[in-house]
Structure 1
Amino acid sequence: MASIFTDDDNSLFNFVVKDGKGVKGLVDLGLTKVPARYIQPPHHRINKQHVAGSLENMTIDLSELDGPNHDQVSKAIAHAAETLGFFQVVNHGVPLELLESLKVAAHRFFAQPPEKKALYLKGVSPSPMVKYGTSFVPEKENALEWKDYISMTYTNDADALQFWPNECKEEALEYMKTSTEMVRKILKTLILNLGVKADDSRVDELAGLRMVNMNFYPTCPNPELTVGVGRHSDMGTLTVLLQDGIGGLYVKKDENATTPENEEWIEIPPIHGALVINIGDTLQILSNGRYKSAEHRVRTTSTESRVSVPIFNQPLPVVKVGPFPELVAHDGVARYREVVFQDYMNNFFAKSHDGKNLIDFDIVMCEFR
């Protein structure tokens, strides 16, 4: 069925992107092989020879932060942030039945007819804070990602209830609200570990812009040729991620590995009731490089459609992001320049996924060796 699309008239791009049919629309046609526009260059594909097992030993019981093991748990969180940049939390305060409802809601949204989802395409969506799309920046990508998504930026409850899609708004809003205290707790712990004061106003400023995404990865006839999400790091402070039971999230083990042949990737295994936490670029900058915003990516599968639901916790757009002054004084050098977060966001969304955006952002990064 892929032969109905021709390269010369951009019919596939129009079908998937402009008409809002998405990758699911392709799959629903009875696709038996991946169209050329989705075939990744070999160095971007997920080579299982470079997968170094899975992350089994970084699951943290967050409830113990409030008990006699506080210091031990705080150190475990900081260690994860300093090394891999990823960990999982259980007993986090988000109801487990809500997590299950979120997965159902995500499938419910993406199961709709294309014209229903297309109501939220950029330019026609009832709110600029709600966007349905596919891939990441398809206009800038040589090879598209095998993913559809709905993105919902929070401003207030009333706007969320009015403009977010009916099929998922209640679950998404509750997820965001019930995770807020968990995010505050983790962020405070990480800031205090740096020897920096972590008052509520500072924490809220650094995680005051919240965005809930629902990602849908349809079954893929040639998963070895594609990616669900290309290699990247997140731009914000902390990301909270709900996985379903299928798996497919990989994290780069050593950020200093510079060639595909030298890279090792670790799979973050789905754990029932757990949420994945990862460090974003903002927290790496604030910590003057102590914490790591790890590169990560997502594979596709031929057996079952996958969903994931991240919450991106980011600074308010007007906030100036730079290394904490206390750390600069201690280290004797600021490894990153200060930048207004809106400018950093603009840069992030201006190009396709290709590693750690902050490394290429010369306004932010100071030269250091």
Structure 2
Amino acid sequence: MGEVDPAFIQDPEHRPKLSIIEAEGIPLIDLSPINSIPTPDSISELKAIEGLVTEIGSACKNWGFFQVINHGVALDKREKIETAARKFFAQPLEEKRKIRRDEKIVVGYYDTEHTKNVRDWKEVFDFVVEEPTLVPASLDPEDKEETEWINQWPENPPELRLVCEEYAREVEKLALKLMGLIALSLGLPEDRFNSYFKDQTSFIRLNHYPPCPSPRLALGVGRHKDGGALTVLAQDDVGGLEVKRKTDGEWIRVKPTPNAYIINVGDVIQVPLFILSTCVQITSESCYWPNLLSTSNSIRT
């Protein structure tokens, strides 16, 4: 990616602003109470979990968006997948395109993604958590045929597959814990949503945002809402994620928190929560980050 092709250029009203409003007040939730070794009949631990449930419920209803720390995902697994992703994206384009996704193979490498008919300034690598992932072959409810989604893995770096699979297992555990907390916040049993995700289509996306020669014209990812249940987002220290504030419609920058995950509540669970999904975008000047679960790790170069 070099000169800015017209396909990348956002309409004036959607271009990044020269002044950045940094987000304040976005909930930062400590998940320690659900990751500590439980003590039988501990009143203090029960109260801590009750407080956590209240925090989660409030964050979902008022923001649709929050950050979590002490989440239980090992830092070394996150570091390994980011390192391997950097190696993959540093390869020549022809190497990456050997595992390019298309209409029949829906996971793999892709560098021409569009959001709202404008091309995103990024390249991605997608893989599904469950392999194979079985999905209906059509939207016809009478059609019982299924299609398999099979991952494509590059020859290099050779460690990418292993670190991706290990990371996926850890982040999926986190997503299930969060769904349990959301259920409790609604006054439902903790496992209330589990059956809906028995046959789910969770996937992980590694995003690479190359330097943009005209970052005021393009976006890494245009404005959008997430269609899954949860998005578990890992930012690097550069950042770039922006959230549309519900009160006034302003785009505000989410400051990266070391080793935290940003959780975006997707459209799938908007109905039980009865809230509006949060709209997000990624500027083209900042990040690396890898459907119960859509998890995204973003890297900037």
Does TM, scored on the shorter chain, surpass 0.5? yes
Change (3 A) 1:226 1:129: closer
Structure 1 counterpart of 2:288: 307
CA contact (8 A) 2:15 2:219 kept: yes
Q: Is the partner of 1:225 in helix, strand or coil? A: coil
Q: Give the structure 2 partner of residue 324 of structure 1.
A: none
Rounded Cα–Cα distance in structure 1 between residues aligned with 2:106 and 2:8: 28
SS of the aligned residue for 1:79 comes to helix
1:237 equivalent in structure 2: 229
CA drift at 1:95: 0.6
Aligned to 2:77: 98
1:266 aligns with 2:252: yes
User: Counterpart in 2 of 1:155?
Assistant: 130
Amino acid across the alignment from 1:163: Q
- In 2, the alpha carbon distance for the partners of 1:44 and 1:135 equals 19
SS at match of 2:119: coil
Between the two proteins, the alignment pairs up a number of residues equal to 266
Equivalent-residue separation in structure 2 for 1:52 and 1:34 (angstroms)? 25
Contact kept in structure 1, 2:73 and 2:171, CA below 8 Å: yes
**1:48 Cα deviation from its structure 2 partner:** 4.5
Matches within 5 A, 1:1-369: 26=1, 31=2, 33-49=3-19, 51-55=20-24, 58-65=27-34, 67=45, 68-123=47-102, 128-137=105-114, 141=117, 143-156=118-131, 163-166=152-155, 167=157, 168-199=160-191, 202-206=193-197, 208-254=200-246, 262-287=248-273, 289-290=274-275, 292-301=276-285, 306-309=287-290, 313=292
Residue 233 of structure 1 and its aligned partner are, at CA, apart by 0.7
Mapped contact 2:244–2:279 kept (Cα < 8 A):
yes
Following the alignment from structure 2 to structure 1, what is the Cα–Cα distance between the partners of residues 26 and 106? 37
Q: Percent identity?
A: 31
Q: Deviations over 1:191-233 (max 9, x none)?
A: 1211233426x32523732101000100011111111101111
TM-aligned CA deviation for residue 273 of structure 1: 1.1
- CA 1:34/1:277 → structure 2, altered by over 3 Å: closer, same or farther? same
- Give the secondary structure class of the aligned counterpart of 2:202: strand
The answer (yes or no) to whether the contact 1:161–1:170 under 8 Å persists in 2 is no
AA in 2 matched with 1:95: A
TM, length-normalised to structure 1? 0.65
Task: Identify, as 1 or 2, the structure richer in helix.
Answer: 1
Asked if the contact 1:56–1:269 (Cα under 8 Å) also holds between the matched residues in 2, the reply is: no
SS of alignment partner, residue 71 of structure 1: helix
1:282-337 CA-partner distances (Å, limit 9, x unpaired):
110233x14x4200000011xx7x3111xx5359xxxxxxxxxxxxxxxxxxxxxx
RMSD: 2.8
Cα pair 1:223 1:299 within 8 Å, conserved: yes
SS at match of 1:196: coil
- TM-score computed with the length of structure 2 as normaliser: 0.79
Unaligned segments of structure 1, at least 5 residues: 1-25, 316-369
Conserved? CA contact 2:107–2:149, under 8 Å: no
Contact 2:68 2:262 in 1 (8 A): yes
Show structure 1 runs of 4+ deviating over 6 A. 157-162
Distance 1:56 1:109 in 2: 36
Please give the per-residue CA displacement for 1:141-189, whole angstroms capped at 9, x wherever unaligned.
2x31101101112333899997333532222211110122221111111
Q: Name the structure, 1 or 2, with higher relative contact order (CA <8 Å, separation 6+).
A: 2
Verify the 8 A CA contact 2:108 2:152 in the aligned structure 1: no
Aligned partners of 1:206, 1:151: CA distance in 2, in Å? 20
**Which structure features the higher share of strand residues?**
2
Displacement of 1:104 after TM fit? 1.1
Distance 2:149 2:256 in 1: 29
